[in-house]
Amino acid sequence: MTVPAIQVEKLTVTYDAEPVLWDIDLTVPQRVVMGLVGPNGAGKSTLLKSILDLTPKLAGQIKVLGQPFAANRKAIGYVPQRSSIDWDFPTTVLDLVVMGTYGRLGWFRRPGERERADAMAALKRLGMDAYAERQINELSGGQQQRAFLARAFVQDAPIYFLDEPFAGVDVPTEKLIVQLLHELRDEGKTIVVVQHDLKTVGEYLDQVSLINQTLVASGDVESSFSEQLIEETYSGRSRICSPIVKGDA
Amino acid sequence: MILWELLGDHTFRTVLLGTMGVGAVSGSIGCFAYLRRQSLVGDVVAHSSLLGIVLFFLISYWLTGEGSKSLFVLIPGAMVAGVLALGLSQWIVSCTSVRADSGLGVMLAIFFGTGIMLLRWVQKANPPIPGRRGLDSYLFGMAASMTWADLVMIAIVGVGSIAVMLLLWKELKVFTFDPLLAQSLGYRTRWLDWLMIGIFVNGIVIGIQCIGVVLIIAMLVAPAAAARQWTESLESMVVLAAVIGASCAAIGTVVSAVVSGIPTGPVIVLAGATVVLGSILFAPKRGILFGGRKRASAAMQVRFRESSK
C-alpha cells in the first residue's frame, strides 16, 4: 500500500486554555476527495491550519507523504477562506494567480512569460480567462473562488487543502469546482475540503471525517457518514439535515 | 524668476533635494503600510523616535562634550527607539490580554512622553548643554537646517531601503496581500514581518529632520492613499506615491522659501492632504464624484429593471 497523503497523530490544539482540537488521529489516503464535516467552531479550519503549521500545536505529529511536514511543506497547496484576504488590493486576476508560482521561483527571481502562461492555463480551466485583466475587486464571490482555485492549481501540489470553497458561491461555480476536484483526484491528487452542506456529502466526497473537537469518525462516506455518527458529531445542537447517505453514493 | 534665483542658492538646492528624496522614499514605502493597514505602527515608530533622538544627542554630549545634531547620530537613535517601542508593544500583547492597538498606543504615549520630558530637561539644564539649540525642531521639523552630511545620511538610508524593497519585491508583495499564502509557499513570514517593519522604520526616520516626528506619518500614508485611488497595480501605486510624495515635498519647500514665516514640514503635509482629498473626490473609478455616479446609475438600472417587470 502507498504512503498516506496526510497522517496526523495525537494532534491537540488550544486557544489560550480552551481546547479546539483534542487528540486527533487522522489518515488521509492518496487520490481521494476527503471532506471535513462538523458544526461551526468544531475546529475544521483549525485542523487544516495546524497541519500547515499556520497555527501552533500543543502536541502532535504531522506527516505529509510519509515525511515530516517541515521537509515536505510545498506538497500542500492551500486555498484559504475567501474572506481571509483584502479583495481591494490593487492587482489583477492574472497577477493573483501568478502569485501561486512564487514558491517555485525562489528568492529574488521575478515571474516571467512561463509563469504567466501557466496562470492563464489555470484560469482557462476555471472558465476565468476572460477576466484575466480585471481588478480582483470587480469579481463576484464565485469568480473570486475560481481565481483562488486557479492560484492553487499553478502551485501544482500533489495535495490540496480547501477551506470552505463552496461558501457564498453561485451554483454553476459550485458544480464546476466539484467537477474539477474530481478531475484532479483522477489525475492522482489528494484533496481535503472543509464542507458545510451535509446534503451534498455523498455526491461530492469519497471520504469524510466527522469532527467536533475530537475525531468522531473517518473513512468512506458509506461507512462513516451514518445518521448515528452525524448525530454524535452535532450532538445536542439543533440542525437541519435532509437525506443521509444514499446507499449507492 | 524667483524660482530660478532660489535654485541658484546652494542651501536651497540641498534642502529641496533632501525633502524631495524623503517624500519619494516615504511615499513609496508608505504603500505597504497603507495596504497592510499599519499606519498606527508607523505613527508609533515616528513618535517614539523622539526619545531615541534626545537620548543619542545626550550620549554624544557625554562622549564628546558637545551634543551632536548630525543625522548620522540621531537617525540610529530614532531607529533604536522606534523598533524598541514596537517590540515592547508586541511583547505586552503576547503575554497580557491587552489588544494590539492599545499596546501600540500605550508604547507611543510612554516613549513620546519620556522623549518630551527629556527634551525639556535638555533645553533647561543648567549649565546649558552645548549644541542643544534647535533640538526641539525635531518635533515639527526644520528643513532649512539640512546639511550635505544630512543629505548623505538620508540617501544611504533611503536608497538602502528602496533597494531591499525592489530585490524582495515579490516576497513583500505576496506577504502583504496574503500572509497565509506566503507562509504556505514556504516563506519565513516572521522574518518578512520584521524586514517590512525595518523598511517602515527607515521610511519614517529619514523624514524626522524636515517634517518632524509628529507629522512624518502623513508622508507615509497620504501619498499611498492618494495613489491608490488612481492605480490598479501595486507597481504603479508605488511609483505614483513616490511622485506624489516628492511633488508635495517640492511644493512645501518652495512655498516656505518664498513666503516668510511659513514652516516647510506642515506645508508639505498639507499639500499631501490636498492631493488625497482631490483624489478621493475626482479619481475616475474610485472617486466619490465619478465612481459614485457610476454606482448610482447601476442602482438606477436595477431599480428600473425591477419596476418594469
pLDDT in tens, A12-49: 998 877 888 888 899 999 999 999 988 888 888 899 99
Mean pLDDT of B131-153: 90
- Write the CATH number for A103: 3.40.50.300
Looking at the predicted structure, is the pLDDT value of residue A246 above 60?
Answer: no
Distance, CA of B216 to CA of B48 (rounded, Å)? 12
Distance of residue A137 Cα from the nearest chain B Cα, in angstroms: 10
Q: What is the pLDDT of residue A243?
A: 41
Q: Is B168 on the interface with A (CB under 8 A)?
A: yes
Which residues of chain A does B185 touch, with a Cβ-Cβ cutoff of 8 Å?
Answer: 74, 102-103, 155
- Global confidence as pTM: 0.86
Q: Do B184 and A86 touch (CB under 8 A)?
A: no
pLDDT band, very low/low/confident/very high, at B4 (cuts 50, 70, 90): confident
Distance, CA of A52 to CA of A72 (rounded, Å)? 10
Looking at the predicted structure, is the pLDDT value of residue B101 above 70?
Answer: yes
**A67-68 and A59-64 strand pairing:** antiparallel
Mean pLDDT of B28-56: 94
Q: For residue A76, give the nearest of B171, B184, B232 by CB distance.
A: B184
Mind listing the pLDDT tens digit for each residue in A95-117?
999 999 988 887 778 888 899 99
Q: Among B164, B180, B234, B285, which would you mutate to test the A interface (most chain A Cβ atoms within 10 Å of its Cβ)?
A: B180
Helix (H, G, I), strand (E, B) or coil at A35: strand
A245: in domain:
no
Looking at the predicted structure, is the pLDDT value of residue B293 above 60?
Answer: no
Angle between helices B189-205 and B71-95 (to 10 degrees): 140
Return the amino acid letter for B135: L
Whether omega for the bond prior to residue B127 falls within 30 degrees of 0, making it cis, is yes
Q: Do B174 and A102 touch (CB under 8 A)?
A: yes
Whose CA is closest to A57, among A65, A66, A46, A67? A46
Angle between helices B189-205 and B169-177 (to 10 degrees): 100
Q: Chain B residue closest to A135 (CA)?
A: B232
A76: in domain:
yes
Q: Is B177 on the interface with A (CB under 8 A)?
A: yes
Which residues of chain B does A92 touch, with a Cβ-Cβ cutoff of 8 Å?
Answer: 232-233
Whose CA is closest to B204, among B37, B8, B33? B33
Torsion angle in degrees (nearest 10) through CA of A195, A198, A202, A203: -70
A116: in domain:
yes
Task: Name the CATH superfamily, with its identifier, for domain B2-307.
Answer: ABC transporter involved in vitamin B12 uptake, BtuC (1.10.3470.10)
Mind listing the pLDDT tens digit for each residue in B184-235?
888 888 899 999 999 999 999 999 999 999 999 999 999 999 999 999 999 9
Mean pLDDT of B82-97: 92
Domain of residue A127 covers 6-233
pLDDT band, very low/low/confident/very high, at A240 (cuts 50, 70, 90): very low
Q: Tell me, what DSSP letter sits at residue A188?
A: T
A240: in domain:
no
* Number of domains present in the structure of chain A: 1
Mean pLDDT of B168-174: 93
pLDDT band, very low/low/confident/very high, at A241 (cuts 50, 70, 90): very low
Looking at the predicted structure, is the pLDDT value of residue B303 above 70?
Answer: no
